[in-house]
Structure 1
Amino acid sequence: MIQPIGHDANVAALQTAANSGRLHHAWLLAGPEGVGKGLFARAAATWLLADAAGPRPTGPGFTVDPTHRIAALIAAGSHPDLRIAERLFREKTGDHARNISIEQVRSLNGVFATTGSMSPRRIVIIDSIDDLEAKAANALLKSLEEPPADGLFLLVTHAPGRLLPTIRSRCRMLRFGPLDDSAMTAALTQAAPDLSPQELAALIRAGDGSPGRALRFAGLDIASIDETLDQLITRGDPTNALRNRFARTMATKAAQPRFEAFLDRAPSRFASAARGRTGPALEQALQAWERVRGVSAAAVGLSLDPQTTAFEIATLAASLAPAVGSAKDRA
């Protein structure tokens, strides 16, 4: 199993609790999306179940030999003492359900209905608890209030402040932060070993400390998107040539994934452009950032034309160039 990278303190905290015999029944894994919380939960569950069933893992961190009987069962999705709840994939629509339903949460109780099959320990992962519908959150709360013996909940959250206070109060929290560049390099190399050095560097920049976010940009030439936006922001586009050329690259159906990556990436490039500005220049940059953020958030849902949308955002970028371009660009 792929191991979590950059969260050694959290690995040590959970292992120390397990080794002490005082493992809290519910852990809230809280932090930005894409930094490895779900991976941490799955690796932790593998290690904890292997540790309880034996033979005890001897590798560093959550490392478990893939030939270990517990690791093999989990890899096959057939370990009887582990349940994972996440948004279900809908084959008819090709996307995921909006929420984790109450039926899914209730079904998790099956793992606690009998004693453990491989060891006393039984584990439930919810990835993420933010996706629970209201009734499902209340059903989970009941389980947390009456925790089963030797039961463990690993609950992933991207926004702990939005959870029910009664859920937070029954959990021990582990906080996860963005990864530094060294950890990002290791995480991305582990997940995608065939990345070129150039794409790896671009993904580290685009990921902002989140390997999950970075990997969404893989294969989409995110470096050229950043380069185009940066060029427009610093030098403008007096003849419209760069904007027209860039917008045309977003016009085809095949370019939709890259267009969505552009929408995801553009607000952060405008935010970077605002840093270091003062006075009217700062106000202009912030207004452009607000506009880009709104357009980017609405474009896919409203089925806005990609070429027109890309040109509009590119024009806003060109308007930030210092005293460059036409009056239209500086408006």
Structure 2
Amino acid sequence: MTLPIGNDAAHAAFASAMTGGTLHHAWLFAGPEGVGKATFARIAALRLLAEGANPGSLPPGYDVPGTDRTRSLIAAGSHPDYRELTRQPKDADKPGQDLARSIPIAQVRALGPMFATTPSMSSRRIVLIDAIDEVERPGASNALLKSLEEPPAGTIFLLISHAPGRLLPTIRSRCRLLRFDPLDDAAMERVLRAQLPDANATEIAALVTAGQGSPGRALGFAGLDMAALDKAMTGIARDGDPSNTQRAKLAKLLSPKAAQPRYEAFLDRAPAFIAAAAPAKHGAALQTALNSYDAARALSASARSLSLDAQATVFEMAGLVATLAEPARS
């Protein structure tokens, strides 16, 4: 596993802590979703455990040889000193189905037996939580807080957060913050070209725009012709679609069941499209754009949670995009 592209400063800061004797017991890897926080955390966890098992035997940086036992145990999910907490499938017999809304207190309490003993194979043990934002409140958060306040010997917590401002202040205060930023367009293009070698330049450019600095977000849009969706929204935003023809066409295009992935992509993309247009506005036009952005975010959330009619939802969302049009000057 290679380091994710971008955020070199964060990677270097953690490496410095590993080698400089300043390794805090709890780290908060914070930044937008899809910028490589969790990938880096898993790389760091592997390195920490492998180094703890064989001090001084590894090359500099984050490399761990493919033959290292730590690597194979983590890959098999059987390393005794490593635990990873994530949302689990709602139905254990259907692992490919929907995930639970949160990480419950039972998962946090399940760490107890590991904490009751010393590390088995290393001087360290790692608890990785992806994402700490999804830990159930207040029960699970409070149970985790106790371990952060009085960490078991040798335990290092790696906590992934997409929205650190929403965490309990008591959890944030126990952690050392490591910030991860959105990638610039050049880095985004490098990631996307590596992951989508068959994609043409138009698709890559559209995904870079739609991803907003998040390769994970952009890859979720792959194959959904985001360029066409952006083109449709650009036309509506330019002239306001006074006859509603473009809005109706887009709503009809995205409403069939077969178009569900593109419909969901549109729900994600439209609020961001409005937000991107806002900085170029002034006065009343700016306030209108900000209001439309808030309304678009609310509509996107409601469409999912309430299973709103797709055709009506797209028509309404496109109407919010249309508010970006400014009156023609005579």
The answer, yes or no, to whether TM exceeds 0.5 is: yes
- In structure 1, what is the equivalent of residue 119 of structure 2? 116
- In structure 2, what is the equivalent of residue 165 of structure 1? 169
On the 8 A contact 1:82/1:124 being kept in 2, the answer is yes
Tell me the CA shift for residue 27 of structure 1: 0.9
Distance in 1 between residues matched to 2:20 and 2:45, nearest whole Å: 17
Equivalent position SS for 1:78: coil
- In structure 1, what is the equivalent of residue 321 of structure 2? 317
In structure 2, relative to structure 1, the CA distance for the partners of 1:246 and 1:172 (3 Å cut) is same
- In structure 1, what is the equivalent of residue 216 of structure 2? 212
Of residues 303, 316, 327, the one that matches 2:307 is 303
Distance in 2 between residues matched to 1:276 and 1:119, nearest whole Å: 55
2:43 maps to 1:43: yes
On the 8 A contact 2:29/2:161 being kept in 1, the answer is yes
2:142 maps to 1:132: no
Equivalent position SS for 2:181: coil
In structure 2, relative to structure 1, the CA distance for the partners of 1:112 and 1:177 (3 Å cut) is same
- In structure 2, what is the equivalent of residue 58 of structure 1? 59
4+ residue stretches of structure 1 with deviation over 4 A? 190-194
Equivalent position SS for 2:305: coil
2:76 maps to 1:76: yes
Distance in 1 between residues matched to 2:170 and 2:324, nearest whole Å: 47
Distance in 1 between residues matched to 2:166 and 2:244, nearest whole Å: 44
- In structure 2, what is the equivalent of residue 86 of structure 1? 86
In structure 2, relative to structure 1, the CA distance for the partners of 1:193 and 1:26 (3 Å cut) is farther
Q: Which moved more, 1:68-77 or 1:136-145?
A: 68-77
Q: Which amino acid aligns with 2:302?
A: A
Distance in 1 between residues matched to 2:294 and 2:124, nearest whole Å: 49
On the 8 A contact 2:118/2:153 being kept in 1, the answer is no
Residue segments in structure 1 that go unaligned for 5+ positions in a row: 325-331
The share of aligned pairs that are identical, in percent, is 56
On the 8 A contact 2:90/2:98 being kept in 1, the answer is yes
2:277 maps to 1:276: no
In structure 2, relative to structure 1, the CA distance for the partners of 1:205 and 1:108 (3 Å cut) is same
- In structure 2, what is the equivalent of residue 152 of structure 1? 156
Tell me the CA shift for residue 197 of structure 1: 2.9
TM-score (norm. length: structure 1) = 0.88
On the 8 A contact 2:34/2:217 being kept in 1, the answer is yes
In structure 2, relative to structure 1, the CA distance for the partners of 1:148 and 1:279 (3 Å cut) is closer
Distance in 2 between residues matched to 1:30 and 1:119, nearest whole Å: 27
Tell me the CA shift for residue 258 of structure 1: 0.9
Distance in 2 between residues matched to 1:284 and 1:169, nearest whole Å: 38
Q: What CA RMSD, in Å, does the superposition of the two structures yield over aligned residues?
A: 2.3
On the 8 A contact 1:4/1:36 being kept in 2, the answer is yes
TM-score (norm. length: structure 2) = 0.89
On the 8 A contact 1:82/1:111 being kept in 2, the answer is no
Distance in 1 between residues matched to 2:77 and 2:200, nearest whole Å: 32
On the 8 A contact 1:35/1:179 being kept in 2, the answer is yes
Superposed CA deviations along residues 58-108 of structure 1, whole A, max 9, x for unmatched, are: 26x423333332222222222221100011112369211111111111112
Q: Which amino acid aligns with 1:116?
A: P
Of residues 293, 314, 319, the one that matches 1:289 is 293
Q: Which moved more, 1:233-242 or 1:306-315?
A: 233-242
- In structure 1, what is the equivalent of residue 146 of structure 2? 142
Residue segments in structure 2 that go unaligned for 5+ positions in a row: none
In structure 2, relative to structure 1, the CA distance for the partners of 1:190 and 1:71 (3 Å cut) is farther
Distance in 2 between residues matched to 1:272 and 1:299, nearest whole Å: 22
On the 8 A contact 1:247/1:311 being kept in 2, the answer is yes
2:104 maps to 1:101: yes
2:244 maps to 1:243: no
On the 8 A contact 1:233/1:273 being kept in 2, the answer is no
Query: Alignment length, in residue pairs?
Result: 323
Distance in 2 between residues matched to 1:319 and 1:114, nearest whole Å: 61
Q: Which amino acid aligns with 2:53?
A: A
